[in-house]
Amino acid sequence: MNKILFLFPAFLFFSCNNSGLNKKFIADRYEIDSRIIQNKKNVSSYDKFLLNYGILRHRDYYNYEIEGKTFEEILELSRGLIDNGVEIEEVFNKNGEVDSLKIETQIEGSGVFRKSPNSKKFIKAMKFNCKYTNTSETDIVVLSTTFQMKGPFKKMITAAGFDINCLIKAGGTLKVEFVLEARNIQTNLQFDKKVETPYLYLDEIMLNSEMVPLGNTVITDLEFYEKCDFEGERLIPFKTYNYQTDFDPSKQIIKDDTGKAIKIEYGDAHFTVEENDKAVEIITGRTQ
């Protein structure tokens, strides 16, 4: 019995070392090290995702450091960030706020869709749904809604505006299902990244994110509008946020006197439909 008690801590120590997480992170080696960690059976899939996400999202303006740390230390840091978020404020110019409209969202995961019933083109996308509740005593028409995708560290990955064009009766509800192309999410995740990461864990990122309504365009002129039934259909955004064209770190990241980034200014919260925006697109059918 004494021998078993003596060997047990040694076994734990060996297992920890054998995971590869005791190695120090070196940016130029991460492509190799991440492949080694990926093949370790004694590291959970969730920990692999979380470790990788902490490295993928490392930016100077997110105010956390990974240089000089071991992978185990970065994993612990990422656990704290997924619970508490990154230490920087995100600021939007509020527009499109509607007090009488309650919106509940749910991310369903990823799927692969045909762009149209006869199309040969498939897209990978994040699926999410939304329940609108009109809490007022007046019938309204929801023309459009903008959602922010907040990632696992509770900061913006992208935003998307959707045409709705539906009547919601006073006290009534509306259920709508949406898709957001994975390509937009992936492109924004990789903007301004500091380390090459061979794995993205996109499905895990989607499932550990949330969709937050930023604003709506609502009218009370009900002519030409009626209640909608989107059963079996999903809406595609008319506009998405693109860091490559919409974000300028030198102008939108605000720093204090010490040079620490304290907030990011993203501009208007709600996308309004403009003439050059894409026409409303609907994906019919379910996941392939």
Percent share of the chain, pLDDT over 90 = 77
Residues 33 and 150 in one domain: no
Residues 144 and 259 in one domain: yes
Count of structural domains within the chain: 2
Residue whose C-alpha is closest to residue 254's, from 264, 243, 266, 269: 264
- What is the distance between the alpha carbons of residues 9 and 270, in angstroms, rounded to a whole number? 55
Residues 16 and 133 in one domain: no
- C-beta of residue 38 within 8 angstroms of C-beta of residue 48: yes
Residues 135 and 70 in one domain: no
Structure confidence by residue, pLDDT tens digits, 52-83: 999 999 999 999 999 999 999 999 999 999 99
pLDDT at 3: 42
Q: Tell which of 86, 119, 145 closes a domain.
A: 86
Structure confidence by residue, pLDDT tens digits, 205-239: 999 999 999 999 999 999 888 889 888 889 999 99
The whole-number average pLDDT for the span 190-219 is 95
Residues 146 and 73 in one domain: no
- What is the distance between the alpha carbons of residues 149 and 155, in angstroms, rounded to a whole number? 8
**Whole domain around residue 235: which residue ranges?**
90-284
Whether the predicted pLDDT of 156 surpasses 50: yes
Dihedrals φ, ψ of 72, to 5°? -65, -40
Structure confidence by residue, pLDDT tens digits, 20-30: 899 999 999 99
The whole-number average pLDDT for the span 117-143 is 92
Whether the model clears a pTM of 0.95, i.e. scores above it, the answer is: no
Residue whose C-alpha is closest to residue 266's, from 127, 51, 121, 95: 95
